[in-house]
Amino acid sequence: MATQNYNPRPRIGVLALQGDFEAHLKVLAELGADGRAVRLPEHLAELDGIIIPGGESTTIGKLMVVYGLHEILQKKIQEGIPIWGTCAGLILLSKETDNALAGQPLLASMDIHVRRNAFGSQRESFETDLSVPVLGEAPFHAFFIRGPSIEWVGPGVEVLATLDDETIVAVREGTLLGTAFHPEVAQTNGQRDPRFHHYFLRIVESVKG
């Protein structure tokens, strides 16, 4: 896949408390963005966008509280900074979730209702081609690893992709983006497919304007 460089380099923070944050940082570097690992409140300063990666949503949520990131992230969302949640990150962005563990902190910002581990355990992980019109005509090969599903969306939420059975797996609401799968490991014809990261960086650029 051809890459596209962004100039000046957008500063994208990737929440690095737990989960698949390193893969996101690698994709951002390949695209010419300035990816930064976020572990402490001071790491959220002067960012143009934020990615909340996959992992274990309860663990990430509780660590956000422990490290003082939860309220600051909510404030960033209110200020309109673009934020993308993948898999566990999607759960954390949602206003409502089924079958959450007790004490699950949520950023509760995206008008969606999700179900954790909707496709089963790690052994039931799967991959499939998705039609994602905002990314172009070519299908996007998506990996679902203990992924959530989006049960319903509010009137201001745009559905970007569904499975063949109409299960919603990618959404956008303003500057918020959510995917139930792991775009950071997507490949097409043996090459990394960075189109979802391109799409998020375009959202970031539109806000920087």
Task: Please return the burial class of 206, using the count of CB atoms within 10 Å of its CB with bins 0-12, 13-18 and 19+.
Answer: exposed
184 is catalytic: yes
Distance CA 153, CA 112 (A): 4
Strands 49-52 and 11-15: parallel
Q: Which of 24, 43, 70, 182 is catalytic?
A: 182
* C-beta neighbour count of 190 within 10 angstroms: 5
Instruction: Indicate the burial class of 166 (C-beta count within 10 angstroms; 0-12, 13-18, 19 or more).
Output: exposed
Tokens standing for 149? 């599903």
Determine whether 182 is an active site residue: yes
**Active-site residue among 24, 43, 184, 198?**
184
Active site (catalytic) residues:
87, 182, 184
